[in-house]
Structure 1
C-alpha cells in the first residue's frame, strides 16, 4: 500500500509541476495536466496517506494533525485548480486557504513542540510546500497583471468609440463631396482626394500592424475583445519588444506617420491654411529624460511596453490621424467659396467640424487624465508587487522554517529506525565473525610465518641494494674526483687577463659540460663544451673531449680554432665508431673555442653549435657558430675561424645552453638567451668575481622550486 501511495504521490506531483510550467509558458495541455494531477492527489494519494498514517498514529492530537493537514492540502489543490482555470468560486477558496494555511502552520508547531508530529520530511510535506509556493506566485502575478491591464483596456475602449465617430464624420463629408459637379472646384477636389488617400494609407497600416500583433497570441485576428485574452500575457512586454522594435514595425509606422504629416503640411502650404490640429499630434521626435538620455519615439510608444499599452497607443495614433484629417477637411471647405449646391456640404461640414473640435478638446483633456490614471495604476501595481514580494519572501521563510522543524522532529525517528537496523546487522555480523575467527586465527599464523620468511628475504635484498648503491656511489665519487682533476687551474687566466669568472654547476655529481684551457705557443686556447647527456654518460664524454683537446693542442701543436675543431670531430667519430647508420646514437658535443694572443690582443674564434659573446662599451656582439656538432653529421664542412681584434676592457663569454634553458619564474618558462644577455650587460661594470655571484644568485632565484634540467658552465674573461 505504501508503495502504491508513493507512486501516486510522485505521479501527481510531477503532473502538477508540469501543468504549472505549461500554464506559464502557454503551452497546450496545461489544463489537462493540472486537472489530472489534482484528481490523482485529492482522490487517491491524500486519502491513502491519511489512512496509512492514522494506523500508525499514537495519540488523538497526532490524528487531529493528520486530518487538518489533509483538509488544508485538499483545499489548496482545489483552490489552485479553480484559480488557474478561472472557474467560479476561486476567490472564495483562495480566501479560505489564506486563513487556513497559517492556522495549520501554528497547529503543526504546537504538535511538533509536543513531540507528536512523527514521520519525516515526507512527500506530503514536499507537496504542500510546492503547491503553496505556486499559489502565492500565481495569485501575485495574476493580480498585478489585472491591475496593469484594466487601465489600458478602459483607454482602448474610449479610443475605439471616439475613432468610430470621427471615421463616420469624415466618411459623410467625403460622400457629400463626391456629388459636386462644379469643375471650378477642381483644386479643392484634388486636395481632398490626396488627403483621403494619405489618411487611408496611414490608417490601413495601423490596422495591419494591429492585426499582425494580435495574431501572435489570438486565433481570431478580427476580435478586439481583449478581456478574452490572458491578463498576464497582456501585461507582459516581451512580445511588444520583439514585434515592434526587433522586427521594425514601430519604425515602419513612424515612417508612414512622417509621410502623412508631410502630406498634410503640403496641402496646408498649397492653400495657405493654418495647422490642421492645435494641441495634439504624434510628437515623432526624440525626448530627453531627466537623466540626460535620449529616447526615441519608437521606444516611448512600444519599447518594452505591455501588450495592452501597445494596442492603446495604436488606437491613439488612429484617433490623432482621424482628428487631423477632419480638421483639415473643414479648413479646406471653409477656405473655398463653394457654389450654392454645396451649401448643404458646408453646413454639414460645419456641424461635423464643431463636433470634431468639441471631441478634440474633450479628448485632449481625457487623454491627459487617462495618462495620469495610467501612471498612478502602474505605481500602484509596482507597490503591490513589492508588497507581494515581501509577503512571498515571508511565506517562503515560513515554509523553510516548517521544513527545518520537520527535519528536526523526524531526526529521532530516523535515528531509532537506523539504530535498530544497524543493531540487527551487527548481530548477524558478530555471529558470522565468531565462526570466522577460528579460521582467521589459523590463517594469520600461516601468514605470520610467511611474513617472517619474506622479511628475511627483504632484509637480504636491502643489504644487497645498499651494497650496490655504495659501490655505485663510490664509483661516481671517483669519477667526480677524476673530472675535478681534469679541469684546469684558473692560474693561467689570472696571469694573462685582468679578470675572469668560472660559473660551473653540474646537474648531478659529475657533469657533461666542461671547460678547458692551455698555452699553445704565444696563444692561450680556451674552450667550453657541452657533451651529449649529463651525469655519468656525460662525464665519460667530457673526459674524452678533454683528453682529445690535450692531444690536439699540446701534443700536435695546433693553435687555430677551426683546425682544432676539425681534428676533434675526426677523433670523436673514430673513438665512438660513428658511421651515420640508421638508428645510430648521436653522441658528440658542442663547443666554443677561442685562441687569444695576449700581446697583439688578436682573438680567433670557432664554434660548433656554441656562440661567443663580446661585450664592448656596454654592447654585446654575437659571433655565430657553425651549425654542426663535434660528431658525425650529414653535411660535415670545415669549421670557420673568425678573427676579432680585442681592446682593453673587452669581456668575452663562452657558455653552454644549460643556463638559458633552465625553467623557472612564475610561469615556468625558460630563462632564454635574451635575458642572459641583458643580465651580463646590466652588470658589465662589476668585477668578474662579482658577476659570477650575480649569475649564481639570479639562476637560483629563477629556478626556485623547479628541478635543474641540465649542466651549466659559463667562462668569462676581461682583457
Structure 2
C-alpha cells in the first residue's frame, strides 16, 4: 500500500496535522490582531499584524511542521499495520500449512496402521511357514534310518548330517535285504538338486523310489539300482504337456550306493559321486570314481551307463560316502572351498581308527573351516567300518 494513498495512515495523519496546524495562525491572528490590537478582519489587517509582530511568520509554519510530524506518526502506524497484516497473512499460511500437515499426518498414520497390520500378517505368515517347515523337518528326519539300526548292522558307523537350511536336499538310506539266502546291506547317500524345500521334495521322491526298487522289486546291485532310480525320477517328473518347456523339471540327484553281500563281496556304483575307502593294508585313502551321469534331470540322447565296481570283503576296511556339500564348503583364511584333496588328507591323517573319533574330527574340521561363513550347501558324510 502506498504511503500517500487515501487509505494510508500517513496521508490521513498528514492532512490532520496540516489542518490542525492552520488553527495556530488563525487563532493567533484573531487573538493578536482583532482582540488585542482591535484591527478589522481583513487581508490587510492579516498582513499588518505580521509586520508588527514577526512571530506570526513562525506560527504560520505550524501547518507544515505539524503535517510533517503527523505524517511520521502515520507512517509508523502504516508500518505497524503492514507488519500486522504480514503476521496475519503468515498466520493464515501457517494455518493452511498446519492443516496440510495434519492431513498428511492422518494419511501417514493410516499408512502406518496399514503397514503395521500387514507386518502382523507377514509375521503370522512367516510363523506359519516356519511351523510348516519345522513339521517338514520332523517328517524328513523320521524317514532317515535310525542310528541304532545302522550301528547294529555295522561294526562302526557315523553320520554327519547338516542341512544348509532347516530341511535338506541330501539324505541317506539303509536297508538289509535277504534274497536267495543271501543278505545284502544297502546303504545310500544321495545329493538332490538344490536345497531347502525343492531339495527336500526330491529327497521324498528318492526315498520312496528306493523303497519300491529295493524292498519291493528286490534290485540289490548298485548299478541296477541307479538305472531304476534314474528311470523312476525321469518318469515322476515327466509332464504330460511335454511341449511346454516351463513345465519341464530338470532337477535330479547324485548318489553313492554301497552294497555288502554276505560279508564276502562289496559292490559300489555312483552317479557323479566317488567312494573313498581304506583297507587295513592301505596307507592312504583309495578312490573309486562314480559314473559321470546324474539321476533324472534333462534327458539326453546318449544312454546313461552306471559302472559296477566290486571289492573283496576285508574286515577293518573303512568306507566313506558323502555329498559334495562338505568339500564345496567355503571358508578358511582365503575364503576358498575345503576341497576333495583336503578332505582326503583329513581322513588320512586321523590318528584314530575309531569311527566315533573320526566323526568328531570331521565335524570339528568343518566348523573351523566354515567359521563365520554361511553354509554353502547341505552336507552328509557317512563313515563305515566293517
Equivalence map 1:475-494=2 (5 Å): 475-494=132-151
> CA 1:702–1:580 in structure 2 vs 1: closer, same or farther (change >3 Å)?
farther
Distance 1:678 1:686 in 2: 15
| Alignment partner, residue 176 of structure 2 | 519
Partner of 2:257: 593
Change (3 A) 1:563 1:613: same
Contact 1:552-1:567 at 8 Å conserved across structures:
yes
Q: Distance in 1 between matches of 2:362 and 2:238?
A: 38
Instruction: Note closer, same or farther for the CA distance 1:526–1:581 as it changes in structure 2 (3 Å cut).
Output: farther
* Residue of structure 2 in register with 1:621 after alignment: 286
Contact 2:320 2:384 in 1 (8 A): yes
1:641 to 308, 318, 327: 308
Q: Which residue of 1 aligns with 2:103?
A: 446
**1:661 is paired with a residue of what secondary structure?**
coil
- Contact 2:291/2:305 (<8 A) preserved: no
Note closer, same or farther for the CA distance 1:526–1:435 as it changes in structure 2 (3 Å cut). same
Structure-2 separation of matches of 1:664 and 1:436 = 63
Aligned to 2:199: 538
Mapped to 2, the partners of 1:488 and 1:549 lie a distance apart of: 13
Inter-partner Cα distance in structure 2 for 1:580 and 1:534: 27
Q: Supply the distance in 1 between the matched residues of 2:312 and 2:93 (Cα, whole angstroms).
A: 92
Q: Is the 8 A contact 1:548 1:568 kept in 2?
A: yes
Instruction: Give the match's secondary structure for 1:639.
Output: coil
Alignment of 1:380-399 (within 5 A): none
Tell me the equivalent position of 1:662.
329
Return the structure number with greater strand share.
2
SS at the partner of 1:467?
helix
Please give the residue correspondences for 1:321-336 in structure 2 after superposition, counting only pairs within 5 Å: none
**Contact 1:660-1:671 at 8 Å conserved across structures:** yes
Q: Distance in 2 between matches of 1:630 and 1:717?
A: 24
Q: CA deviation at 1:434?
A: 7.4
Contact preservation (8 Å) 2:238, 2:249: no
Task: Write the distance in 2 (CA, Å) between the matches of 1:524 and 1:581.
Answer: 42
Q: Within 1, Cα distance between the matches of 2:207 and 2:167? A: 14
Residue 167 (structure 2) pairs with residue 510 (structure 1): yes
**Which sections of structure 1, spanning at least 5 residues, go unmatched?**
1-429
SS at match of 2:314: coil
In the aligned structure 2, how far is the partner of 1:678 from the partner of 1:433? 82
Question: Equivalents in 2 of 1:494, 1:678: separation in Å?
Answer: 26
Determine which structure has the larger helix proportion and give its number: 1
Q: Is the 8 A contact 1:561 1:606 kept in 2?
A: yes
Matches of 1:629 and 1:434 in 2, distance apart?
78
Deviation of 1:649 (Å) = 1.5
Output one character per residue of 1:166-223: Cα deviation in whole Å (capped at 9) or x when no partner: xxxxxxxxxxxxxxxxxxxxxxxxxxxxxxxxxxxxxxxxxxxxxxxxxxxxxxxxxx
Q: Confirm whether residue 471 of structure 1 aligns to residue 138 of structure 2.
A: no
Specify the SS of the correspondent of 1:520: strand
Report the CA distance between 1:704 and its aligned residue: 1.5
Using structure 1 for the length normalisation, give the TM-score: 0.39
Which residue of 1 is the match for residue 14 of structure 2? none
The corresponding residue for 1:571 is 232
How many Å apart are 1:453 and its aligned residue?
1.3
Q: Which has the higher contact order (CA 8 A, sep 6+)?
A: 2
What is the rounded CA distance, in whole Å, between the counterparts of 1:440 and 1:580 in structure 2? 63
Partner of 2:35 in structure 1?
none
1:603 to 256, 259, 266: 266
Checking the alignment, whether the CA contact within 8 Å between 1:592 and 1:605 is kept in structure 2 is: yes
The answer (yes or no) to whether the contact 1:608–1:629 under 8 Å persists in 2 is yes
Q: Over residues 551-609 of structure 1, what are the superposed CA-to-partner deviations in whole Å (9 max), with x where a residue is unaligned?
A: 11111111111111111111111101166986744201000001102532x11001110
Q: Distance between the aligned counterparts of 1:537 and 1:662, measured in 2?
A: 20
Matches of 1:482 and 1:441, distance apart in 2: 60
Compute the TM-score of the two structures, normalised by the length of structure 2.
0.71
* 8 Å Cα contact 1:611/1:624 also seen in 2: yes
Q: Does the CA contact (< 8 Å) of 1:503 and 1:696 recur in 2?
A: yes
Q: Deviations over 1:479-500 (max 9, x none)?
A: 1111011001123332232211
Q: 1:433 to 1:674 in 2, by over 3 A?
A: farther
Aligned residue-pair number: 289
CA RMSD of aligned residues (A): 2.2
Matches within 5 A, 1:271-420: none
Distance 1:682 1:598, change over 3 A: farther
Structure 1 residues 470 and 567: alpha-carbon distance in aligned structure 2, compared to 1, 3 A threshold? same
Q: Give the Cα–Cα distance (whole angstroms) in 2 for the partners of residues 674 and 589 of structure 1.
A: 23
Q: Is the 8 A contact 1:628 1:636 kept in 2?
A: no
The verdict on how the C-alpha distance between 1:684 and 1:542 changes in structure 2, with shifts beyond 3 A counting, is farther
1:690 aligns with 2:353: no
Q: In structure 2, how many angstroms separate the alpha carbons of the residues matched to 1:626 and 1:580?
A: 30
